[in-house]
Amino acid sequence: MKVLVPIKRVIDFNVKVRVKSDNSNVDLANVKMAINPFCEIAVEEAIRLKEAGIATEVIAVSIGTKACQEQLRTALALGADRAIQIQTDLELDSINIAKLLQKVVEEEQPKLVILGKQAIDSDNNQTGQMLAALTNMPQGTFASIVKVDGDKVNVTREVDGGLQTVALSLPAIVTTDLRLNEPRYASLPNIMKAKRKPLDVKNAEDFGIDLTPRTKTLKVTPPAERKAGIIVESIDELVEKLKNEAKVIS
Amino acid sequence: MSILVFAEHDNNSLKADTLKTVAAAQAIGGDIHILVAGSNCQSVAEAAAKINGVSKVLVADNAVYEHQLAENVSLLVTELAGDYEHILATALTTGKNFMPRVAALLDVTQISDIIGVESSDTFIRPIYAGNAIATVQSLDSKKVITVRTTGFDAVVTDGSAEVVALDTVTDAGNSSHVSDELTVSERPELGAASVIISGGRGMQNGDNFKLLDGIADKLGAAIGASRAAVDAGFVPNDMQVGQTGKIVAPDLYIAVGISGAIQHLAGMKDSKVIVAINKDPEAPIFQVADYGIVADLFDALPELESKL
Ligand SMILES: Cc1cc2nc3c(=O)[nH]c(=O)nc-3n(C[C@H](O)[C@H](O)[C@H](O)COP(=O)(O)OP(=O)(O)OC[C@H]3O[C@@H](n4cnc5c(N)ncnc54)[C@H](O)[C@@H]3O)c2cc1C
Residues from chain B contacting residue A235 (CB–CB below 8 Å): 293, 295, 300, 303-304, 307
**Concatenated DSSP letters for chain A?**
-EEEEEE-EEE-TTPPPEE-TTSSSEE-TT--EEE-HHHHHHHHHHHHHHHTTS-SEEEEEEEESGGGHHHHHHHHHHT-SEEEEEE--S---HHHHHHHHHHHHHHH--SEEEEES--TTT----HHHHHHHHTT--EEEEEEEEEEETTEEEEEEEETTEEEEEEEESSEEEEE-TTS--PPPPPHHHHHHHTTS-EEEEEGGGG------SEEEEEEEPPPPPPP-EE-SSHHHHHHIIIIIS----
pLDDT in tens, B28-47: 999 999 999 999 999 999 99
Angle between helices B297-307 and B210-219 (to 10 degrees): 30
- As a whole number of angstroms, the distance between CA A202 and CA B216 comes to 56
Instruction: Tally the residues of chain A.
Output: 250
What is the rounded average pLDDT for all residues in chain B?
97
| Percent of all residues in chain B with a pLDDT value above 70, rounded to a whole number | 100
pLDDT of A227 strictly over 90: no
pLDDT in tens, B113-157: 999 999 999 999 999 999 999 999 999 999 999 999 999 999 999
pLDDT of B13 strictly over 90: yes
Query: Does any CB of chain A come closer than 8 Å to the CB of residue B195?
Result: yes
Nearest CA to ligand 1 atom 28: B259
pLDDT of B173 strictly over 90: yes
- As a whole number of angstroms, the distance between CA B59 and CA A195 comes to 56
pLDDT in tens, B193-222: 999 999 999 999 999 999 999 999 999 999
Cβ–Cβ < 8 Å for B26, B32? yes
The CATH number given to A2-220 is 3.40.50.620
- As a whole number of angstroms, the distance between CA A60 and CA A116 comes to 12
In this predicted structure, what is the pLDDT of residue B1? 77
Non-local (6+) Cβ contacts of A101 within 8 A are: A6, A61, A63, A113, A127, A131
Backbone angles phi, psi at B99, to 5 degrees: -65, -40
How does residue B165 score in pLDDT terms, banded at 50, 70 and 90?
very high
pLDDT in tens, A96-125: 999 999 999 999 999 999 999 999 999 999
When pLDDT is averaged across residues B239-250 and rounded to a whole number, the result is 96
pLDDT in tens, B48-77: 999 999 999 999 999 999 999 999 999 999
- What are the CA-CA distances from residue A220 to residues A27, A166, B135 (Å)? 10, 38, 6
In chain A, where are the structural domains located? 2-220
When pLDDT is averaged across residues B269-274 and rounded to a whole number, the result is 97
Sign of the Cα pseudo-torsion (A129, B227, A5, B180, in order): negative
In this predicted structure, what is the pLDDT of residue B233? 97
pLDDT in tens, B283-299: 999 999 999 999 999 99
pLDDT of A141 strictly over 90: yes
Tell me, using a 6 A CB cutoff, whether residue B198 lines ligand 1: no
For chain B positions 160-179, those within 8 Å of chain A (CB to CB) are 172, 174-179
When pLDDT is averaged across residues A126-152 and rounded to a whole number, the result is 98
Residues from chain A contacting residue B293 (CB–CB below 8 Å): 231-235, 238
Minimum-distance CB partner of B101 among A93, A130, A169: A130
In this predicted structure, what is the pLDDT of residue B56? 98
B200 Cα: distance to centroid of ligand 1 (angstroms): 6
pLDDT in tens, A15-56: 999 999 999 999 999 999 999 999 999 999 999 999 999 999
Summary count for chain B: helices (H), strands (E) = 8, 16
In this predicted structure, what is the pLDDT of residue A228? 80
- What are the CA-CA distances from residue B242 to residues A189, B228, B272 (Å)? 36, 11, 16
How does residue A74 score in pLDDT terms, banded at 50, 70 and 90?
very high
- As a whole number of angstroms, the distance between CA B166 and CA B287 comes to 52
How does residue A250 score in pLDDT terms, banded at 50, 70 and 90?
confident
In this predicted structure, what is the pLDDT of residue A225? 87
- Across the interface, whether the CB atoms of B126 and A222 are under 8 A apart is answered no
In 3D, which of A12, A11, A42, A1 has the Cα closest to residue A131? Answer: A42
